[in-house]
Chains A and B, each alone.
Chain A
Amino acid sequence: MATIARPAFHMKRQRVLWGWVFLSPWIIGFLIFYLVPMVFSLIFTFTNFDLTRPNEIAFIGLRNWSQLLRDPNVGISLRNTLGYAIVALPLTVGIPVLIATMLNTKSLWGKQILRTLFYLPYMIPGVAAAYIWAGYLSPDSGWLNLALERLGIVAPNWLFDAKWIYGGLFMISLWGIGNSVLITLAGLQSVPTELYEAAKVDGANPFLTFRKITLPMISPVIFYNLVLTTIGVFRFFDIPFMLKGSSGDPANSTLFYNIFLYRVAFPQQNMGYGATLAWLLFIISMVVTLILFLSARRWVYYAGGERDE
């Protein structure tokens, strides 16, 4: 950080004061929309708070937390979310690396246009995407099943069959990889060409080069995408809700954690238990993020060592 000329002590104090003034929108926002709600949320977990009867709020001790342990829907929704994450994360982090590698081919034609086209679905509003896919995957007129039938494959009723709906959701989630592709591509472009030339001199084949040079060099970008998509899984709500509401159909398969949280807090208006579910989500997401950041020390490689800060 470059140093500024500091003419006098009171002048510096004045600048510190101005600094706080400029930061104040964020500091106030952080208190109102993050810190205070977190504290209140924790307090609510010990109450029977119901928004329709706010005056009857009473402390009920740990009853919400013990309900959490007994409620079968907590287990179902956690299992659904985890099951979705285990497949969706590798897909939505890995496929962008493949696409970006193809787009990074030196002699590719129409690079700009192809890049823009891969980004395009990311711009489509979630509701529109949900209904485009609902039609595309429909058993009678959807293109996917028409194509599969032409290949002689008996196609499933994707979004209405508990066995297949995750397949549908994975496909929909792949429409959201535009940002990851773009960032990965930028990461690939910033790998110094000398490294590749050195590998060529040493006679390394393309796969070895990719594994030993490209992957480590873009590992910070992969890590960033992994963190963001993990956060996306913790927020996962819009697409299943647009398709199935908070019903969890078929057979509770779309009862994801946030769908369940919504069901408890809004249709059922049970804010005390809703806050408890929210706190459990907070704890889980903090633990997972912590694990991610700790694991990063083992596999994320920062070329510049210390970064300027």
Chain B
Amino acid sequence: MTTRIQTQPRTPAKESRTSNVLFQHSRKLLFGGSVTLLVIFFLIIYLSPMGYMAVTSVKSQGQIASGTILPLSPEQYTYEGTAYDVYNVPTDEGVKQWALVEGLRNISTFIDPAAPEAGLIAWEGRWRALEPVLAPDIQWSNFNEAYQRANLPRLMLNTLAIAVFGVIGTLLSCVLVAYGFTRFPIPDKNILFLILLSTIILPRQVTLVPTYAFFAAIGWTGTWLPLIVPHFFANAYNVFLLRQYFMTLPRELDEAAMIDGAGPIRILVSVIIPQAIPVLVAVGLFHFVFAWNDYFEPLIYLLNAPELQPISVGIQQFNAVYDREPAMLQAVSILALIPPLVLFLLSQRVFMRGVVVTGVDK
């Protein structure tokens, strides 16, 4: 379509057409640019809480109280072994950055850090009205402190263990069930599949009381088992995602393997699974992120077992203790969101495709 632009314009008619195309092209570019700016504007507002988190996490208590947006501290100058705050001081020769050595009501003594050999300078005026010179002062140590105080190594290890066992259970069970739904002539298969999908609609609080009573009766409360074992019994989302993918795999390969005498399990392991790696990765990621972020079930099942709690519950208890220290809370939040966020950024293509398949195909 655009080849016309590349040819040399010879006739006036062609020339005007070229400039017309060019005009439309630049108009399109301008439109795209302004929409992009608008989107970026919304994004900045949308993500600004993350900016707040990042900036607050590296502030000291004093910096938070001072109300500046960035982590700034008054600049200091050490003169003869003592540190003095630096102020913007208006003088006859313009504003000077001087360190306040002694502040009195109407006359104060300063030292000029640029020329300390000149000695102390007397200045007439109210020093309290002066503006301190602020310099970036980032408290990286907050992260280390939060890491230690919240006992993050233990929380992360707990979360990792719960998540990994859950991923194994989800993958095993959902692959089997999806395989059953796509490749075997089960009577009333569609009705069964509809029942499976309808479990999505059921709020989990509905089954909560008897399920909790059941786990309490068999002595599983206060252990990880209620958070892991149910995932060995498949769930609707992931079965759906796997089924959609398995349906696109050609049956000829199955049938060829069948003729070679392979049984159903053999076909699953050596024909289906090798073709389905991307969707398996997506399901594994979904479950990992779900388990990392899950809050309600760990809350009720591990209420009295703090040494087994995952990060979500652990941070909530950390908040109860350190709720007067916003920097600690934001630092611990950053540390908690790094694993799922990094995992997502590394695998966003597979991840987002999985989301789209479950959403659009239904």
Contact = CB atoms under 8 A, between A and B. Distances in A.
Nearest to B263: A18
A224 interface: yes
Contact of A116 (B172, B208, B211, B348): B348
Interface of B: 28-29, 31-33, 35-36, 38-40, 42-43, 46-53, 56, 64, 67, 69, 172-173, 176-177, 179-181, 183-187, 189-190, 192, 195-196, 199-214, 216-217, 230, 232-234, 239, 251, 255, 264, 289, 292-293, 295-296, 299-300, 303, 311-313, 315-316, 319, 326, 329-330, 333-334, 336-337, 340-341, 344-345, 348, 352, 355-356, 359-360, 362
Contacts of B181: 23
B340 A123 contact: yes
Contacts of B195: 30
A123 B360 contact: no
Interface residues of A, number: 100
A38 interface: yes
Nearest to B326: A135
A19 B69 CA distance: 62
A309 B190 CA distance: 8
A88 interface: no
20 contacts: A15-B184, A33-B233, A37-B211, A38-B207, A41-B210, A103-B39, A117-B47, A118-B46, A128-B336, A128-B337, A131-B315, A135-B329, A179-B359, A183-B359, A235-B203, A238-B296, A265-B212, A266-B303, A278-B205, A286-B201
Contacts of A2: 251
B339 to A, nearest CB: 9
A175 B48 CA distance: 11
Given A135-B53, A289-B201, A99 B31 contact: no
A107 B296 contact: no
Given A16-B187, A121-B47, A235-B205, A22 B177 contact: yes
B150 to A, nearest CB: 11
A59 interface: no
Contact of B341 (A37, A99, A109, A123): A123
A33 B48 CA distance: 41
A212 to B, nearest CB: 21
A76 to B, nearest CB: 17
A25 interface: yes
B56 A141 contact: yes
Given A109-B36, A119-B352, A238-B295, A224 B209 contact: no
A30 B197 CA distance: 11
B312 A125 contact: yes
Contacts of A140: 67
A281 B205 contact: yes
B184 A22 contact: yes
B210 A135 contact: no
* Most chain B CB within a 10 A radius of its CB, from A25, A187, A271: A25
B362 A224 contact: yes
* Most chain A CB within a 10 A radius of its CB, from B29, B184, B232, B303: B184
Interface in A226-257: 227, 231, 234-235, 237-238, 241-242
Given A25-B176, A29-B230, A186-B359, A118 B43 contact: yes
A170 interface: no
A28 interface: yes
Contacts of A174: 46
B296 A237 contact: yes
A271 B209 contact: yes
A305 to B, nearest CB: 16
A18 B32 CA distance: 55
Contacts of A115: 352
Contacts of B303: 266
B255 A4 contact: yes
Interface string A274-302: 11001101100110010000000000000
